[in-house]
Amino acid sequence: MSAVILDGNRISADIKNEVADEIRGLAGSGVRPGLAVVLVGHNPASEVYVRSKVKACEALGVYSEKHTPSEHVSTEELLDLVESLNSRDEIDGILVQLPLPPQVDAKKVLMAVDPAKDVDGFHPMNVGFLSTQRPGLVPCTPSGVMEILHRSGISVSGADAVVVGRSDIVGKPMAMLLTNAHATVTICHSKSHDLPGICRRADILVAAIGRTGMITRDYVKPGATVIDVGMNKIADRAEFERFFHGDAKREAAFAKNGSVLIGDVDPAVAEIAGAITPVPGGVGPLTIAMLMSNTLKAMKLRRGERLRETAVRQA
């Protein structure tokens, strides 16, 4: 048996097209969603992520602006910037790119973002909304996973789901989303007893623990759906051979780049899983798609009444 590959690139493109269509439909109202990204310093990985986000905004019709304070910025200066963005009506979403420099109190800065503009879904108020099933903004990666499951026809209601990882960004909100969708959810981590045994109970297994290839065949029930949230880099030849021996496509990529990407799931799991997300091309593309969706959602939650009034006047 070989697993069905859940194509994150295709699902991401579908979501972006839906967002773009909805934004085009707002053209007559004179309103479009706006996203402000705050990028501090010159972290190469962060710069790549931000470029991708700004490019997506341009493609979909989202207004965007990038703020680039110096790496020497103080907490107070960043708080002033966030407050100015909070006060601007045309800005619907504020994204503070992590990590921040060590002299900055990152939690204080993130807490200062208006929850109505918190498109990352990190603010405790949005966490509370998710927990109590009220309208709010949900972290992009977990909500992207739910879109993969839904759009791939994988039934969540009544399923046994196991989430490996308990981070505030992925693990905990993932468990809440699955619970809200009527799955029976176990959340576990590196300190859980008999982790392979817990995982083998799962109809849906979400790996978000940040450890290269940790989830092996021994962790997976035959036929289970496996969602790999991990994104790790292999640059060691011996480690490459362990996971990708005989894979000509990966061998070519390794020879060219000196490294390849791998998730938290051993690729051999595809031999027994019913469905699996690849790395790359699985969960990753959904993160930016859901950021765009969240920015549109934030605009509708904030400015929905005005949009309805405009629509009535134009009718």
List the CATH number of the domain containing 98. Answer: 3.40.50.10860
Token pair of 14, please? 């579908």
**Residue among 16, 53, 117, 297 flagged as catalytic:** 53
> In this predicted structure, what is the pLDDT of residue 312?
46
Whether 303 maps to a domain, the answer reads: no
269 in the same domain as 208: yes
- The per-residue DSSP string of 281-313 comes to SSSHHHHHHHHHHHHHHHHHHHHHHHHHHHHHH
In a domain, 161, yes or no: yes
Q: Is 286 domain-assigned?
A: no
State residue 2's pLDDT score: 84
Same domain, 221 and 174: yes
Write phi, then psi, for 182 (nearest 5 degrees): 75, 25
Euclidean distance between CA atoms 17 and 36, whole angstroms? 21
pLDDT score for 44: 85
> Please, is 9 exposed, middle or buried when counting C-beta atoms within 10 Å of its C-beta (0-12, 13-18, 19+)?
middle
Of the candidates 16, 92, 97, 264, the residue annotated as catalytic is 97
238 is a domain residue = yes
Same domain, 87 and 193: no
On whether both 234 and 107 belong to a single domain, the answer is no
- Classify residue 295: in a domain, yes or no: no
Q: Which positions ≥6 away from 174 have C-beta within 8 Å?
A: 141, 142, 145, 163, 206, 208, 229
Q: Would you say residue 310 lies in a domain?
A: no
Residue 53 falls in the annotated catalytic set: yes
Tens digit of each residue's pLDDT (9 = 90 or more) over 170-186: 999 999 999 999 999 99
Is 207 inside any structural domain?
Answer: yes
Q: Are residues 271 and 165 in the same domain?
A: yes
> Coil, helix or strand for 16?
helix
Condensed to tens digits (0 to 9), the pLDDT of residues 87-100 reads 999 999 999 999 99
- Catalytic residue, chosen from 92, 114, 118, 120, is 120
Q: Are residues 233 and 178 in the same domain?
A: yes
Round to whole Å and give the CA distance between 215 and 209.
10
160 & 240 share domain: yes
The reply to whether 157 and 38 lie within a common domain is no
Number of domains in the chain: 2
Residue 314 annotated in active site: no
In tens digits, the chain (315 residues) has pLDDT values of 689 999 999 999 999 999 999 999 988 778 899 999 999 988 888 888 899 999 999 999 999 999 999 999 999 999 999 999 999 999 999 999 999 999 999 999 999 999 999 999 999 999 999 999 999 999 999 999 999 999 999 999 999 999 999 999 999 999 999 999 999 999 998 889 999 999 999 999 999 999 999 999 999 999 999 999 999 999 999 999 999 998 999 999 999 999 999 999 999 999 999 999 999 999 999 999 999 999 999 999 988 766 665 554 555
Q: Could you say which of 84, 116, 148 is where a domain stops?
A: 116
Structural domain includes residue 126: no
Q: Which domain holds residue 214?
A: 140-281
In contact, 91 and 34? CB cutoff 8 Å: yes
pLDDT of residue 313: 53
**This prediction's pTM:** 0.93
Instruction: Provide the CATH number for the domain around residue 208.
Output: 3.40.50.720
